[in-house]
Every structure is written in structure tokens, then in C-alpha cells.
Amino acid sequence: MGDVTAPPFEQFYAQHCDRVYRLLVRRLGRQRAEDAFQETFLRALRAYGNLRHAQQLGAWVSTIAENVATDIRRRERPAFPVDDEPAWDSRPAYAELEHLASGLPPTERAAVVLRFGYDLDYEQIGAVLGSNAVAARQAASAGVRRLRKELT
Amino acid sequence: MNVPTAVDTRFREAAAASGMLDASYDLTDSPIGDLLVAATDAGVCCVSFTPELTLDRLAHRHGSRILRVPRRLVTVRRELHEYFEGRRRGFDVRVDVQPLPSFNRLVLDELTRVPYGEVTTYGALAKRIGHANAARAVGGALNRNPVPIILPCHRVVGASGKLTGYAGGLERKQALLTLEGASLL
């Protein structure tokens, strides 16, 4: 056991939650910060029982938050056009789809745009969404059904 | 900008659902003052009359992953509320006294057989667990009862009928016995 033992998790959380939330909003924007916030403190909780000492807990949780933000941005990178995207059309498919799909719930919207706009397969889409191929397929078909309903 | 309440609540419940917490707790008011109630996955592990002093003790006993998760304590809070309103005579929630020494658990187990509204003595309780000479040790185990009210150590008094002692203070012990309509020996 080190010089200072870790305080009950509640105290640690209460002391750092607002600062970590602000950090994540700066990195990711408010909407994505909400998921990242939960992921950050769940990772902290997982490690908390085995902490050898309680020094620099603030810096420690900031590092976790930065890692979570990086992971989230890395997962999302395929959603942005890459360099070798063939420029056949001034208005590429994904742009048109993004406009059409803008009213869908976030996961369905992402699945539809990635599948039909970027031609990714469900395996890849699952990885982007942090789920799997089956969930990605379901999200895409739910999105398409919803779009059909809206367009008719 | 502070973390929104909905985000905070969502994290607390995800933490509880993850199974990684050593205990969750909440605060509640009562006619005998503010109480802190805590539970592990096995049951209620703490009712405390001194909420501000309790988190460290809980962490010491169960581990440092202690978090306030109100939804996890809804049932025990409701049962306590019903008890204080005189609508409940026994508790249905499970208790978790696992970290205690076996002698303390034996005492607390026997204690649950002392009925609502009745009192017994330290000596009588000692005899009932087969340690007739251990009245003082029984008193010590009751003094360290982690879940008072639910495990009714307030129903145990001195041989003379005096209240004798209570970790939460004698006025609370008196109030609980009055609530139950107990007449002293």
C-alpha cells in the first residue's frame, strides 16, 4: 500500500466529474462527450480497485479521458472521405444520403450513410459503430424502412 | 459547465449494472435523523446515523469502489419509511454481514428472532446462542451492528431494564422502542 490510499470512488468521482466532462466536450463536442464520459469513468472504476496509491488521480483520469476521446475519433475516421475517393460526381452519394438521412436516429443514420453512401460492408460498419455486423445490418435496414416511410 | 444530471445518473446506473462496485449507497431522512443506507450485490450492508463519517468505513470494510446509486437503494428506503410510519414490523430486504467475524454474525442472526415491540437482555441473548457468560461480548457485537434498525439491536437492553447503550445514541434507541410500543422489562 502506498503513502496515500485511494478515497471512496464517490469522492474521486465527485471531485473530477465536471472537469472531465468539460475536457471531453472540448475534444468531441457535447453529444459524443456524453458516451465518452461514461466510458471514461467505467474504465477508471475498473482500474480503481487495484490502484497502488492515490497520487495524481486527477492527471490519471484525464489521461483515461484523452484515450477514450482518441479511441472514439479513431473509430469514426472511416466516416470521413479518404484521399483516394474517386471524384466522379460533384455531389457524391454520401453527401446526398447524409442530407436525406439527417432526420434518422444517429446509429441508423450512420449505418445507412456508411452502407449506401460509402459502400462499406457490415463488418466495417459494425467496427465504426462499436458494435458488430449483425447490429449494423439491423440499424441500416431500420433506417431504410424509416426513410421509405418518410419519403412516401 | 458541469456534467448534466442525466449523464451523471446514466453513469451511476451503468457502474452499478457493470458489477464492478463494492457497494452502492444513498441518503434518506427519517424521524431519528438522516441515514445513509448501503448495499452490496448480496444485500443491505450498512445503515448509518452518521452519513458524513461512513464512506471511509464502508470502503475499509468492502473496498474503495463505493458509489451513490439511488435506484439500487429504493427498496430498503421504502421499507424503512414504512417502518417509521408504523406500517411495517419486519424487513424483507436481505442483509449482507459477510465481512463480520463469525461470533458477530451468530449474535446478529439470533437478534432477528427478537420480535417487534419486545425487548431482551444481553445476558439472555448470550444464553440463547450458547455462550451464557458472553453478555459483554454480545454487547460488543451489537455495538458494531452494521445494519441497525433492520437488525434490531435496539431491542436489547441491560439486565436492570436500563437502555444501557446504542451506537446511534440512547435517544434514538428510546425513539425506536417507543415507535414499536415496547415496554421495558
Q: Could you report the per-residue pLDDT of B50-104, keeping only the tens digit for each?
A: 998 899 999 999 999 999 999 999 999 999 999 999 999 999 999 999 989 999 9
Q: B 34-63 residues with CB below 8 A of A?
A: 55-56, 58-59, 63
β B43-48/B35-40 pair status = antiparallel
Q: Does A4 touch chain B (CB under 8 A)?
A: no
Q: Could you report the per-residue pLDDT of A100-134, keeping only the tens digit for each?
A: 777 787 778 777 876 776 566 787 667 666 778 89
The closest CB to that of B14, out of A9, A20, A42, belongs to: A42
Name the residue of chain A whose CA is nearest to B21's CA. A45
Q: Does B15 touch chain A (CB under 8 A)?
A: yes
The CA-based angle A65-A66-A70, given to 5 degrees, is 115
Taking 80 as the threshold, does the pLDDT of residue A70 lie above it? yes
A41/B15 Cβ within 8 A: yes
How many CB atoms lie under 10 A from the CB of residue B126? 21
Q: Could you report the per-residue pLDDT of A113-122, keeping only the tens digit for each?
A: 767 765 667 8
Report ipTM (2 d.p.).
0.90
Q: How far is CA A37 from CA A11, A116, B22, B160, in A?
A: 17, 31, 21, 59
pLDDT range class, residue A86, cuts 50, 70, 90: very low
Residue B45 falls in the annotated catalytic set: no
Which residue out of B153, B175, B177, B182 is catalytically annotated?
A: B153
Half-sphere exposure of B42 (CA within 13 A, CB side): 9
Q: Does B71 touch chain A (CB under 8 A)?
A: no
Q: Could you report the per-residue pLDDT of B134-178, keeping only the tens digit for each?
A: 999 999 999 999 999 999 999 999 888 787 888 889 999 999 999
Q: How far is CA A26 from CA A69, B3, B32, B74, B167, in A?
A: 10, 13, 46, 36, 49
Instruction: State the pLDDT at residue A82.
Output: 44
Instruction: State the pLDDT at residue B84.
Output: 98
Chain A hits for B56, Cβ within 8 Å: 7-8
Share of chain B above pLDDT 90, in %: 89
A11/B65 Cβ within 8 A: no
pLDDT range class, residue A77, cuts 50, 70, 90: confident
**Which of B151, B146, B147, B137 is closest to B60 using CA atoms?**
B146
The closest CB to that of A10, out of B1, B10, B67, belongs to: B67
Scored b (16 or more CB within 10 A) or e, A36-74 reads bbbbbbbebbeebeebeebeebeebbbebbeebbeebee
Whole-angstrom Cα distance, residue B185 to residue B179? 16
